[in-house]
Amino acid sequence: MTTAARSASRPVAAPVGDVLYTVHPSPLGDLVLAGPESDVLGSITVPGQRHATGVQPHWRREDTAFTEAARQLDAYFAGELREFSLVLSTPTSEFRRRVWEALDALPYGTTVTYGELARRAGAPAASVRAVGGAVGRNPLTVVRPCHRVMGANGSLTGYAGGLDRKRFLLQLEGVLL
């Protein structure tokens, strides 16, 4: 188990309209960290990320929120952290939950194919496209390591934040030269 799998995940239901967010600089661009409470992370997105909701008008910016998440992200980008330990709240369907748990279990510096991820999530081999869809809608970029999923031939495929960012993260983890 690594990354978000070691997080203290607990169900936290945010009242409609009560979402806190902050913006944190990173090598990937400004990260938007958001969640229902200042210490409960519900999403991390990068500029231009596919399937990201973006900051909504009813969200409230709180620059003192998510300080532990920001600290851990900085340590990860500095090469000093390999596993995140954060409180997460990402309600989803049962299928996506299984795929995201399989993602959470991927060790730092390793990769897996979509087919292997499907197997690890207990999904039939024919569900590779559905697994790819669940990976692409991961709301916790970097923390939930969807960048560690590769094409069947080892190619860099599908990353909602863009392939340049995926390449950067895999280089940071020593997977790519």
User: Tokens for 88?
Assistant: 């997460």
User: Tokens for 72?
Assistant: 């851990």
Beta strands in the chain (DSSP E): 20-24, 31-35, 43-45, 60-61, 112-113, 149-150
Q: Which of 31, 52, 112, 146 is catalytic?
A: 146
0.95 exceeded by the pTM? no
pLDDT digits (tens, 9 = 90+) for 8-32: 444 444 444 589 999 999 999 999 9
* Average pLDDT along the chain: 89
Nearest to 35 by CA among 6, 5, 66, 4: 66
Strand order in the sheet with 43-45: 43-45, 31-35, 20-24, 60-61
- Determine phi and psi for 162, rounding to 5 degrees: 105, 145
Q: What is the per-residue pLDDT for 154? A: 87
pLDDT digits (tens, 9 = 90+) for 81-112: 999 999 999 999 999 999 999 999 999 999 99
Beta strands in 60-117 (DSSP E): 60-61, 112-113
Q: Is 104 a catalytic residue?
A: no
Q: Taking residues 39-65, what's their average pLDDT? A: 92
pLDDT digits (tens, 9 = 90+) for 134-164: 999 999 999 999 999 999 898 998 899 999 9
